[in-house]
Amino acid sequence: MSSNDDVFRALADSTRRLILEELTDNSEQTLYELCVRLTMEHDVDMSRQGVSNHLEVLEEAGLVASTRQGKYKVLEFAGADRIKTIIAWLDSLAENDIDTETEER
């Protein structure tokens, strides 16, 4: 299982965040379909190998999953639980900050 550090590293790059957005909006895309959508709809000028490298980081972080369907590798967002864990952690930081501000008054 990946660590929160892997998730933060994956989310640190704007292209990877865009890939995640694209996969949540249009699940189950092939690499080719994803590359076309990134180019046509988001003006991302990147080779398939470049996108593939980003996908590898996202998969290692547990945010994207791939399955084989015939000769194609199909990609989908798979990180809802990982994102919820990160959100809960961030919420606890914000809650602690709110508690500290209240005590100071």
Q: What secondary structure does DSSP assign to 15-27, as a single string?
A: HHHHHHHHHHHS-
CA torsion angle for 15, 46, 42, 90 (degrees, to 10)? 0
Q: For the chain, what is the largest distance between any 2 Cα atoms, rounded to a whole number of angstroms?
A: 63
Residue type for 52, please?
A: S
pTM metric for this prediction: 0.84
Q: What is the pLDDT of residues 54-87, one digit of tens each?
A: 999 999 999 999 999 999 999 999 999 999 999 9
What is the dihedral sign for C-alpha 5, 10, 13, 18? negative
